[in-house]
Amino acid sequence: MTRKSLPFKDYSYRADPKVSDFNDQNPIIVFDGECALCSAFVQFVIKHDKQKEFQFSTGQSNLGQALFQHYGLDTVNFETNLLVSKGRAYAKMSAFSQTTSLLPYPAKFLSLAKYIPSPLDTWLYDIIARNRYRLFGRTDRCLLPDDNLKKRLIE
């Protein structure tokens, strides 16, 4: 895939009755709410998202489950974060690089990950994803304790 996004028509989730309506004017990151690494990445995004544009949903939530299912992703193991931005879905390393490209500098520099050639980027991402609990642990608490940030969490 040249644009490194999932092979779906943009905004295809809108026609899927299993995906509840949500505000898709802003990017949304769907992440494994039990993964400490995934939660740390979301915290990183929150810290650098000065405009408060990003929304978040856990893969365990109703919306997260529906989006993962819509895009044919594992709804149990969550071996990728999913970014939906401007109706386009991104997974794995392309989700990471696209997410960071939407942040201001210096965080935007991480978007250079898009230049890691395929299949090396997929291999690297998959190794980390398969071992994320062992390497980084699990979290059993919500990472968005602040009321302002909870408003950006879509269930």
The pTM for the full model equals: 0.87
Digit-coded pLDDT (tens) for 85-108: 999 999 998 999 999 999 999 988
- DSSP sequence for the chain: --S-S-SS-TTGGGG-TTS-----SS-EEEE-TTBHHHHHHHHHHHHH-TT---EEEETTSHHHHHHHHHTT--TTT--S-EEEETTEEEEHHHHHHHHHHTSPTTGGGGGGGGGSPTTHHHHHHHHHHHTHHHHH-B--S-S--SHHHHTTB--
Q: For residues 104 and 34, which has the higher predicted lDDT (pLDDT)?
A: 104
Q: Tell me the pLDDT band of 1, cut-offs 50, 70 and 90.
A: very low
* Mean pLDDT of the region 114-121: 88
What is the per-residue pLDDT for 146? 65
Residue 15 has pLDDT above 70, yes or no: yes
